[in-house]
Amino acid sequence: MDKEMIRKYAQLIVKAGVNIQKKQILVIFSPIECAEFTRMVSQFAYEEGAGDVVISWRDELSTKIRMLHAPEEALDEFPAWTKELHMSYALRGAAFLSISASDPELMKDVDANRMSKAMKTKNLALKDYADRLMSNKNPWCVVSVPTLAWAKKVFPGMAEDEAVEKLWDSILVSVRADAVDPVAAWEEHKSNLAERMEFLNSNNFKYLIYKNSLGTDLKIELPKNHYWLAGSEHTPEGQVFIPNMPTEEVFTLPVKTGVDGTVVSSMPLNYNGNLIENFSLTFKKGRVVEFSAKKGYESLKNLVETDEGSHYLGEVALVPNDSPISNSRTLFYNTLFDENASCHLAIGKAYPCFKDANELTDKDFEERGVNDSLEHVDFMIGTPDMEIIGVKDSGEEIPVFRSGNFAF
Ligand code: ZN
Ligand code: ZN
């Protein structure tokens, strides 16, 4: 791997990812394996004038030990100080960086019910924090750095060093750190995504109809005045940031009760350290009425049954089959990458994708059909033969996807 490119990546995250402002605090959630990279990010953040850098380390193997052995009642508890860490800095306007790099099958020996209990406890405790981030009140950014366990899963059969190196290369290319000027490369990428956004926004579709040979046959209603987003977001104060690096998606939200038909997954889903594979969901008036999975059925069941909102969808995202991550023909077992290789939907909470989102109340959200849940889990549905038709208010039909790619 190229050390200089890794430095450029760290710099890119600070400058364009969270876009740290003078005196702003940066909170980093980092696996201990990624310490070297996290230190580099921290150094660049101070150089850019960060008010402070606060690092919250995690060790997934310790988490696994807890998940296997802690008494049942411990899983109902979430440390008050961890909640305080998130909320106190959020209220002070901090920027949040998460490094996503878990072993995709870390929790495969853990009872799915214990897992879901602990996740629910965590999501409930951090609900206010998640609400703030999902409505972009704070700048936030999710990136990845290879770990050995993850690299071995992505490139099985390869020598350990080689697998890690290969994963580094894949990540660096996908985030354009190989460009001469990565920050400028992102500006160009964002303007390409903006063209797709404009097409979708100007058509203001009422429905999208999905069909492919896997068995997907789904009709999704989009809310009035919905807005498609892509690339970067901004806080109410106007701080521009990039929530996901890489990102190839253009996304909006569905009407909570406006989804009908069946959708079939096209990639395995890594849900809290368990893989769910070859699954399908059937919706009636937005609600999941039936589901199946060839692998990981218990995990899927726990996901769907987390709360009322997890029976509904909260995101509609379009990614062409012909995109850099998809063309790498690599299955990353990490949603940050896999979602950017494929059209996807999310189970659970919706991002309020409206132009006037900042002026809307919870009641307005409910009236517009914005779903709420403790969960927001993307799952991949794109295939090379995916056809998507957009239906306008007038009934006019316009092809949006043809053979897996944008039709315009
Ligand atoms: Zn997405
Ligand atoms: Zn999502």
The domains of the chain are located at: 3-174, 201-406
Report the percent of the chain where pLDDT is more than 90. Answer: 93
198 C-alpha vs ligand 1 centroid, how far in Å? 18
376 C-alpha vs ligand 2 centroid, how far in Å? 6
In one-letter notation, the amino acid at residue 139 is P
Nearest to 368 by CA among 383, 354, 388: 354
353 C-alpha vs ligand 1 centroid, how far in Å? 12
Asked if the model's pLDDT at residue 121 lies above 80, the reply is: yes
**Which phi and psi angles does 59 have, rounded to 5°?**
-125, 110
Q: Count the Cβ atoms, other than its own, within 10 Å of residue 366.
A: 12
Cis-peptide, bond into residue 352, ω within 30° of zero: no
Q: Report the predicted TM-score, pTM, of the whole model to 2 decimal places.
A: 0.92
Specify the DSSP class assigned to residue 146: -
The token duo for 170 is 């894949």
Specify the DSSP class assigned to residue 17: I
159 C-alpha vs ligand 1 centroid, how far in Å? 32
147 C-alpha vs ligand 2 centroid, how far in Å? 23
Mean pLDDT score of the chain: 95
Q: What CA–CA distance (Å, rounded) separates 285 from 334?
A: 30
Instruction: Give the number of whichever ligand sits closest to the CA of residue 340.
Output: 1
315 C-alpha vs ligand 2 centroid, how far in Å? 6
pLDDT single digits (tens) 17-49 = 999 999 999 999 999 999 999 999 999 999 999
Instruction: Give the number of whichever ligand sits closest to the CA of residue 249.
Output: 1
Q: What CA–CA distance (Å, rounded) separates 10 from 14?
A: 6
Say yes or no: domain 3-174 is CATH 3.40.1830.10: yes
Instruction: For residues 99-125, give the mean pLDDT.
Output: 94
The predicted structure's pLDDT at residue 81:
97
The token duo for 402 is 């043809």
133 C-alpha vs ligand 1 centroid, how far in Å? 14
377 C-alpha vs ligand 2 centroid, how far in Å? 6
Nearest to 120 by CA among 374, 398, 400: 374
350 C-alpha vs ligand 2 centroid, how far in Å? 8
The predicted structure's pLDDT at residue 286:
98
Q: CA gyration radius for the chain?
A: 20
Asked if the model's pLDDT at residue 1 lies above 80, the reply is: no
